[in-house]
Amino acid sequence: MTTALEWQLATVTAIRAETAKVKSFTFALPGWTRHRAGQHYDIRLTAPDGYRAQRSYSIASEPERTGEIDLTIERVEGGEVSVFMHEVVAVGDRIEVRGPIGGYFVWEADMAGPLLLVAGGSGIVPLMSMLRHRAATGSTVPARILYSSRTYDDVIYRDELDRLKAAGDSFEVFHTLTRAQPAGWTGFARRIDGRMLSDISQAFGAKALTFICGPTPLVESAANGLLELGLKAERIKTERFGPSGK
């Protein structure tokens, strides 16, 4: 049995473009173990001369999908692993992975809520795993997500989020587009601030169980903003991602 600490050889069985800079990779895992939404896997690449590069990527898929996982990876300019994943990896390739890892930034349906999610850019990935898990279990825990992206075309999982919202079981999506908005846009159109956080969190109040994920400045600003609104620190969990490509 493969433990989370051991490297295993995963096979890429599908590659899907989510946006111009973001792709999702499906990995079949011979040593698949059920993960928890919010956890991640490490990917390791080895060159013929032994040089290695290793990065962590959050699991995008729900634990209910057995035998395989999806990792959604943003192409970061100059990023050793992400550029390789985007430009070289093909279906059928084998990649070393290790996981699932992470016992802190996780949500399971029996942890209840209400669930408040705040994402910036590729920070949506672990939160999407939580939302997919929520849907797969038929959970009716009220949930809402505030998702910050640069433009409409940068919104990852845009159609799927719309579908989940339309399914109408206590789930709401709030987008903010910080750089450019399409004609007729009615969502938020600025960086996340205290007023926006107040608007979207009011319905849940201090009972909310909050997960924030994205670039460090966004995460810290959102966490501080929610604390100022009276949410308790113990009910807010954060995961910082490094800078994305600009």
Partner 1 sequence: MDPTNADLVLDGNAVAGVLAEIFGDDLTAVLGTCPDCGKRAELATCRAYTHAPGIVLRCSACDGVQLRIAWTPRGYRYEARVQVDGRFPASG
Partner 2 sequence: MGERFVTRGFTGHPQPAGPAKDRIPPGQHLVSDFPVLSAGPTPRIDLRTWEFSIEGAVRQPVKWSWDEFRALPAQEFVVDISCVTTWTKLDTRWRGVSVDVLLEHTELAPDARFLTALCYGGYTTNLPLPDALNGQAFVAYEYDGQPLPPDHGGPARLVVPHLYFWKSAKWVRGLRLMADDREGFWESLGYNNHGDPWKEERYSGDS
Instruction: Give CA separation, 93 vs 90, 130, 177, 217, in Å.
Output: 6, 28, 36, 35
- Whose Cβ is closer to partner 1: residue 123's or residue 142's? 123
Q: Map the footprint of partner 1 across residues 41-80, applying CB under 8 A.
A: 42, 56
Exactly one of 102, 121, 123, 142 binds partner 1 (CB under 8 A); that residue is 102
- Whose Cβ is closer to partner 1: residue 165's or residue 237's? 237
Exactly one of 48, 103, 138, 168 binds partner 1 (CB under 8 A); that residue is 103
- Whose Cβ is closer to partner 1: residue 12's or residue 219's? 219
Using alpha carbons only, how large is the chain's radius of gyration in Å?
Answer: 18
Token pair in block for residue 104:
């802190």
- Give the integer Cα–Cα distance in Å for 122 and 120: 6
The binder of 50, among partner 1, partner 2, none, by C-beta within 5 to 8 A per type, is partner 2
The binder of 5, among partner 1, partner 2, none, by C-beta within 5 to 8 A per type, is partner 1
The DSSP string of 64-131 is TS-SEEEEEEE--TT-HHHHHHHHT--TT-EEEEEEEE-SSS---GGG---EEEEEEGGGHHHHHHHH
Cβ at position 189, least distance to partner 2 in Å: 31
Cβ at position 119, least distance to partner 2 in Å: 25
Element (H, E) at 239: strand 236-241
Binding site residues, partner 1, CB under 8 A: 4-5, 40, 42, 56, 98-99, 101-105, 215-217, 237-243, 246
